[in-house]
Amino acid sequence: MQGALQAIRAQGNVLKCAVLRHVRIMNPAMLPTAISRFESTSPAQLEEHGFESTTISDVLKAKGKGADGSWLWCTTDDTVYDAVKSMTQHNVGALVVVKPGADKAIAGIITERDYLRKIIVQGRSSKSTKVGDIMTEENKLITVTPDTKVLQAMQLMTDNRIRHIPVIDAKGMMGMVSIGDVVRAVVTEHREELDRLNAYIQGGY
């Protein structure tokens, strides 16, 4: 995953080169102007329009309010069997765990890795083991906010070797994003970045 992150960070120059090649082929007369515009502009001026400005809030919006996995949860008293069944039904790899009660305070997270390492490998029964016994507890939980940049979230996931991360704001739980969600957001933004760079060399910015 670290290699992927480094590759993504390097894409800014790759995209610029791709646009310049396109200009050279399609409109050679405009190439000097395009090069001049790139050289006279700081990286920050270009990046503010690009994927480095994409936030987790953008990822959640792209998933949609009804997207599978955005709001899925279980309680500490549920069995691991029921939690894994829910993951399977909704095709997700993790559930937010909440405490029993009306306020549904966050207690932690349970992932497919927890099931494999703490149930299957240890020979325990998923039907008699509570989620609260194997989950990652709240005090060890790694979270992001809606304002967290996508690349920062990817860095967190890479450094901590996790594939799912809850999104929490001042009001509480907002959703969950996976490494797949983050990668899709970056790929989509790269496509849009090409359009922005084309517009930029044409004088659109």
The string of DSSP letters for 52-67 reads GG-BHHHHHHHH-TT-
Distance CA 46, CA 205 (A): 9
- Does the pLDDT at position 130 exceed 90? yes
pLDDT cut 70: percent of the chain above it: 64
pLDDT cut 90: percent of the chain above it: 42
Least confident of 64-68, 120-124, 145-149, 168-172: 64-68
112: Cα separation from own chain's centroid: 18
Q: Assign 201 a pLDDT band (cuts: 50, 70, 90).
A: low
- Does the pLDDT at position 31 exceed 80? no
| Average pLDDT of the chain to the nearest whole number | 77
Position 63, amino acid: K
Mean pLDDT of 104-133: 95
Q: Assign 50 a pLDDT band (cuts: 50, 70, 90).
A: low
Q: Assign 52 a pLDDT band (cuts: 50, 70, 90).
A: low
Q: What is the reported pLDDT for 93? A: 92
Distance CA 51, CA 90 (A): 29
Q: What is the reported pLDDT for 111? A: 95
Domains in the chain with CATH codes:
56-185 (3.10.580.10)
Distance CA 48, CA 44 (A): 6
Q: Assign 62 a pLDDT band (cuts: 50, 70, 90).
A: confident
Distance CA 65, CA 60 (A): 8
- Does the pLDDT at position 185 exceed 90? no
Mean pLDDT of 46-63: 73
Mean pLDDT of 118-132: 97
